[in-house]
Every structure is written in C-alpha cells, then in structure tokens.
Structure 1
C-alpha cells in the first residue's frame, strides 16, 4: 500500500501540533506537492523523481488546521491529484474557510474591454433577475420547503460540490429529493422528490447561486469533480465558462467529452 506523501516546496516550514483526539484517517490520499505563490497554495500531483517527503498525512482535520493557521487565501488544486485528493482538499478548504479553485489551462487570449464589459453587464442582469425571481417566487419556495419538511423530515436543501467558472469550486443549492434513513440522506428519492424532479422545481434554489455570482441563468451546467478528472487538458478549457441554471447544448457537450456513458449532472 502506497503511503500518502506531501512535498512542501518552500524555504519555510511551519510545524503544527497534531490533535490527539480521534480523527478520520486519510490513508488513501494520493501523493502531492505544495507550492506557495503570494498567499496562494498550489496542490500539484507528485512526480516520480521528486523526493524529500514530509511525514504522511494522517487526518483531514490536521490538514484543515494547517490551512486555517496559515496566511493562504486561495488554494489552487490540480485535477490530476485524483478524485480522492480533490475531495480531501476541498473538504479541508471548506472547514478552514479558504477559497478553493481547480487549476484550468492558461488562456492566452486576452479579454478585450468589450468582452469584459459584456461579462460584467451580464452578471448585473443575472443578479437583478435572480433577486426579482426570488421575490416573486417566494410564496412557491416557502410552500415547497414546508411540503418537503412534512413529507420527509430532515434538511430541506441539499448542497452538491461543483466546478464553475475558471475552476471555482462552489456548492450548488437544490431542494432535497432523497429520502432520509437513520438521519442519513440516501440515494432513494421520495415520491414528492420525483415530482420535483419531473417539473424541474428542485433546482429553483439555484437562484441563490446566481445571486452570489457563482452561476448564470442560462449556460452549461456546472461540472462534477469526477467529470473534471476524466477530462483531457484541452477539454478542461470548458471550465472557463460560467455555468447556468438553464442548460444550453449540455448533453451534446458531455456526450462529446465522456461518450455514451455520460450521466446527468443535476
């Protein structure tokens, strides 16, 4: 079994105490290296010829404590660290309240002022329309929240990690459609959840994501982490786009990337 390893390529190494309390082990975290760049931490896959390893990472809380006590403001994660590595690092960033993004291919085409103006104008329009729709649909949203709480007691909303514009990681907010068993969300949908999915009502809370600037009203759906990992370097250029609530040619694009085995995103 391969031991998890981390390389810290910097002249300064901060030594932190490891909590002695029971913690969840991260034995399957693939080897990776860290680079510091002006308060940015880059998480990159480990190359075979690199040596001088730090002690193995034993717990996610230890990693979260390191991030929390550091001056890092942004964590840029290379998708090539694998799905397990992505989830460990994104969870640690969330616990430490650090912003996390995926590393996307460099765009050599500089944005013109006109494109920048259009992008900002679109964001203002999206935010304004999202706020208006939230206000108009507030009775419907409150009614659906009440019905979900009655039909299936538990969390009203579900949050799913997705990759957005320029690799930014964020939580997509939806109405919960899955059943609750022994306090845990299962993969089985409730009858009311199926009805919500049928009429696409489960995605209405994504208006909050639009209001935050994480999504647009119209555009490609945000990508799952496992889909990003399976992308080629060229296909990851699609991560530059701002995702949207209403999809445009999404199935064709995903079929091109993943073939016939592509699965729906939301």
Structure 2
C-alpha cells in the first residue's frame, strides 16, 4: 500500500482566489500555501470577505489541510531596531488575522536576523515577540515558550537547511540531517517541510530554489525525506520556480513518485 503524505505547493492568488481553487482541484493538492497580502510591503489590501469565505469553504470541501499562509518577507522579530520590531509584530498580528479569514491553519514566518548583535540577543527578541538558523536555536525558542506549545511549531526548508551548512543531500545526508533535527526538536513540533532543491553550495547562505532533482539534494534526498516516518504527519509544500500547471505539476509528480 502506498504511503500517504500531504503534498502540495505554494499557490499564487493574484489571478483571484477562484482561479487558485481551480488549480488546487486540477492538481489534487493535499495541502497548500499562499500569500494573503503583498509579501514585500508593510501594507496589504483589505480582505475581501466574500472571496475569502468562498475560498475557505472550498478548502474544506476539497479536504486541503493544512492550508498555510506565508507571512511577508519584511518581518524580522530578531531585529535590534525597536521601530522595526514594532512593525514586525504588527505585521505578524495582521497576518494571523488575515489567515483566519482565508481558512488557513498555519502561518509561516522567518524568525529573522539578529543583525550582528549575536544569536542569543536575536533569540531573546524572537522569544519576546512571540509571548535561528541552527536547529538548536529553534529548539531554544520553542523551549522558552512552553505556554504556546499547541500553536507554535517549525517549518523546515530543504534548500535553506543545505545553505545553512546541514548536508541534507542524498539518502544518507537527508537521514542524518533529519535525525539531528528530531534530536533537537520533537518531531510533532515540526509541522511542515518546504520541499526545494538548490544549486547553492553547502553552507552558501543563499536562497536559491530549483526544481526537484535538479540540484544538490537530488531525488534520493527527497525520497528519504518523504519516507522518514517521524515526519509523516507534516505538510510537504513545494516552493519551486515555474508555472504551477507545468513545472509545478512535474515537481508534484516527482515527489509523489518517491513514496
């Protein structure tokens, strides 16, 4: 019997939420990620209550879960700048409100950069904002916010992990990296995996996504990820380049073939 995994992709919504639903249905997505606003600006357009209500109903009817929103890229909860911190907190709060209107269960946000103040100072600010680049940093953030355990989890990105210096390429590399991850962070606190291949050098600190099997991680790496039982509950979300119905479909087929 084939293993069941919730596999989907980041979906563009600029053409309208109704068009996004058509694509979700055509590709038979099990999970989805969207932007609820402009990812590169502090202000977003007001929520269209009628359109978002219809989108929310469609997600339920199609059994797409979890649905996730990706918060804007500008948010930096680790920033030492008080004004930037304030804007980041307000933006995250607004994102949480929009996410509920869209029917999404999760919000994905980057923890941010300490801007030279040191990892510990950055972690302190993230913890304060919510009540790293390394697995232990994320574990420390979670450990210092036990009151939010039911609501606060981790999304890993295969390309970011590789660019951060964890060698998750190939079968052995991915298994070793996932063992390290789940040793630092309880598996149930890991809610989603962004599935992206990359051509960035190991530890290259750059964000460059390529299609599945076309980069350093390779098909064997993604096979190891999808078949890693401690993370079987996760949403596996593509953030790869290209058209959703062309390259997107090819990437979906590639992941599905690895189970």
Normalising to structure 1: TM-score of the pair?
0.26
Q: Which has the higher strand share?
A: 1
Normalising to structure 2: TM-score of the pair?
0.26
| Structure with higher RCO (Cα < 8 A, 6+ apart) | 2
Structure with higher Rg: it is 1
